[in-house]
């Protein structure tokens, strides 16, 4: 009887059992909220989808050329920060004092390194500064004037506050101020959120080496109080990445994402309970978050290429691209 050498047998079993490499993938979001059909004209819908497609293409091009996940995340978010369509960078909303205060974070799942910034008012691209904090400092988060001083040291572009002005956001601010004044006059409690659409942007990417990265950038909530920071720049709340589990970027009412560490808990469900991206996201968004009174959504991506784009609002600007799939959507009834 012919006997197969043990070494060959082991190699054969290993080859047969080895899983095929996961496809390079990028998922993005441009905010969730009251995005019922009819809110936007066909022309506006086309503009949103065109910019989402551009961001997907930019991030995917990095991955396709062999680049790292963290570079793809930064590239995709930069495109959305430079667009007035989203509540990040150029299109940021106005706070209670009529100022645009910006927050951002980025995390590399390969080594657990992260960088975050909050409350900056002159940084053209907050995601670049968050990346610089991660790569060129021993800190994780910098805020306000200190963060902007660091930006100067890193030659990151600073702009006048007027750069962030957009007429649509200014009108939303004035409408919110008027509503707040009326509520105070009637002894009603002020609403936390005056804009029923959260335009926060984010991206999660998987590169050819199986590394995950995630990033998020935002202008926060319309009429937020001075110094308020949401979940976007907080590691584990609105942004998280680990090669052991997944990458997450969130959008929604940040106070709830912070209280329940939504991003980290989604990844914990995957890492420790063996859940898929879809079931983990569903549990945290439609159970934990919704039952607490919070709304919003997440994009989730695992090192195996499993992904989810989940939200408990009427819609979420979102997209995914890998070798076989390219999808962009706005409303909840879109695939």
Query: Given this model, what pLDDT does residue 18 score?
Result: 59
Domain membership flag for residue 224: yes
Q: Which residue has the higher pLDDT, 1 or 34?
A: 34
For 278-296, what is each residue's pLDDT tens digit?
Answer: 999 999 999 999 999 999 9
Query: Based on the structure, what is the number of domains in the chain?
Result: 1
CB distance 197 to 33 below 8 Å: yes
CATH of the domain at 323: 3.60.20.30
Residue 2 included in any domain: no
Containing structural domain, residue 267:
21-331
Does any domain span residue 16? no
Model pLDDT, residue 11: 41
Question: Half-sphere exposure of 175 toward its Cβ, with a 13 Å CA cutoff?
Answer: 12
CB 97 within 8 A of CB 150: no
Active-site residues: which are they? Answer: 200
Does 56 map to a domain?
A: yes
190 three-class SS: coil
Q: Is residue 80 part of a domain?
A: yes
Q: Is the predicted pLDDT of residue 2 greater than 60, yes or no?
A: no
pLDDT in tens, 165-192: 999 999 999 999 998 888 877 755 444 4
Q: What is the pLDDT of residues 16-61, one digit of tens each?
A: 445 678 999 999 999 999 899 999 999 999 999 999 999 999 999 9
Q: Is residue 130 part of a domain?
A: yes
Within-domain flag for 13: no
Helix, coil or strand: residue 68: coil
294 Cβ contact partners less than 8 Å away, ≥ 6 residues apart = 252, 253, 255, 256, 257, 260
Residue 4 maps to a domain: no
* CA–CA dist 325, 197 (Å, integer): 27
pLDDT digit string (tens) for 237-272? Answer: 999 999 999 999 999 999 999 999 999 999 999 999
Helices (H), the chain: 6-17, 42-64, 69-81, 126-136, 144-153, 167-185, 254-259, 262-273, 277-283, 290-292
């Amino acid at each position: 009887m012919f006997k197969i050498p043990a070494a060959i047998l082991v190699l054969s079993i290993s080859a047969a059992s080895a899983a095929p490499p996961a496809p390079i993938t990028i998922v993005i979001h441009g905010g969730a909220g009251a995005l019922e059909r009819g809110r936007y004209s066909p022309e506006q819908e086309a503009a949103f989808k065109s910019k989402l497609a551009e961001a997907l293409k930019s991030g995917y091009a990095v991955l396709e050329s062999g680049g790292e996940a963290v570079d793809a995340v930064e590239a995709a978010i930069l495109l959305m920060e430079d667009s007035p369509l989203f509540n990040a960078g150029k299109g940021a909303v106005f706070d209670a004092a009529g100022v645009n205060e910006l927050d951002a974070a980025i995390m590399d799942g390969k080594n657990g390194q992260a960088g975050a910034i909050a409350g900056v008012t002159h940084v053209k691209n907050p995601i670049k500064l968050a990346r610089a904090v991660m790569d060129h400092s021993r800190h994780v988060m910098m805020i306000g004037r200190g963060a902007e001083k660091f930006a100067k040291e890193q030659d990151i572009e600073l702009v006048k506050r007027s750069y962030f002005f957009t007429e649509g956001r200014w009108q939303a601010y004035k409408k919110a101020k008027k509503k707040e004044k009326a509520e105070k006059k009637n002894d009603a409690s002020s609403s936390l959120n005056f804009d029923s659409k959260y335009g926060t942007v984010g991206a999660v990417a998987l590169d050819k080496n199986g590394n995950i990265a995630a990033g998020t950038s935002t202008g926060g909530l319309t009429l937020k109080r001075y110094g308020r920071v949401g979940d976007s720049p907080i590691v584990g709340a609105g942004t998280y990445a680990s090669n052991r589990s997944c990458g997450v970027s969130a959008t929604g009412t940040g106070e709830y994402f912070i209280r329940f560490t939504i991003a980290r808990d989604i990844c914990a469900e995957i890492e420790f309970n063996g859940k898929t991206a879809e079931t983990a996201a569903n549990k945290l968004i439609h159970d934990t978050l919704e039952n607490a009174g919070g709304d919003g959504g997440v994009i989730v991506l695992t090192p195996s290429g499993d992904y989810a784009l989940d939200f408990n609002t009427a819609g979420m600007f979102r997209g995914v691209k890998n070798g076989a799939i390219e999808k962009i959507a706005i409303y909840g009834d879109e695939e």
